[in-house]
Amino acid sequence: MEYLYQAGKPNGKKFILLHGTGGDETSLVELAKVLDPDSTILSLRGEVNEEGMNRFFKRNGLNQFDFESLEKETDNLHDVIKQISQEKGIALADWILVGYSNGANIAAHLLLERETALAKGIFFHPMSLEVHTQSFDLADKTIWVSYGGVQDPIVSGLSFSTLVSAFRDRNAEVAAVKTTHGHQVTMEEVQNAREWLKG
């Protein structure tokens, strides 16, 4: 998996960046620097190609997900994170997953469906993938999630609330933020996530 790694200051946060459809390993770097200028960054490029656009798992149309691809790519992502973490000497629990749209979706799926030491996430405009096969406790997980409101053409209010409930029902701590700006990430959201990180 193609990736970008930038070591930050020892006291900085450690971010794993997962881009949205059509993005790459550079897409969220500036966002991460707003969240924490001192951060260490591991930014991954999705390995699925959809008409020239990078994604983290296949789909068969808008919001029509290929679940076989989802499970395969989730395992692949988890393995890559574990391998690079070992190489860099960073504990899995020290990372914060930061994803947007497609990247947020696979990151949330990873926390919900795989037993992992990864425990913290910032997810911009994720949605429920409606895969609920696990029931293990998520009390060690803390996530921040945002939703673009009725202006968002991709994520419905129901899908967003279903995702939030999936975490809360299994004892994860969830901070949910709603905006009125559709599917794009706004500076207001990023600032909100930055304040949350300080908590």
Q: Mind telling me the catalytic residues?
A: 101, 152, 183
φ, ψ at 157 (rounded to 5°): -60, -40
Token pair 């059509």 in the structure block, residue: 22
Three-state DSSP class for residue 147: strand
- Please spell the DSSP secondary structure of 178-199, one letter per residue: E-SSTTS--HHHHHHHHHHHH-
User: How far is 138 from 52, CA to CA, in rounded Å?
Assistant: 36
Measured from the Cβ of residue 66, the count of other Cβ atoms closer than 10 Å reads: 14
User: How far is 110 from 148, CA to CA, in rounded Å?
Assistant: 22
| Beta strand spans in 48-189 (E) | 48-50, 53-55, 95-100, 120-124, 142-147, 173-178
Judge contact between 25 and 45, C-beta under 8 A: yes
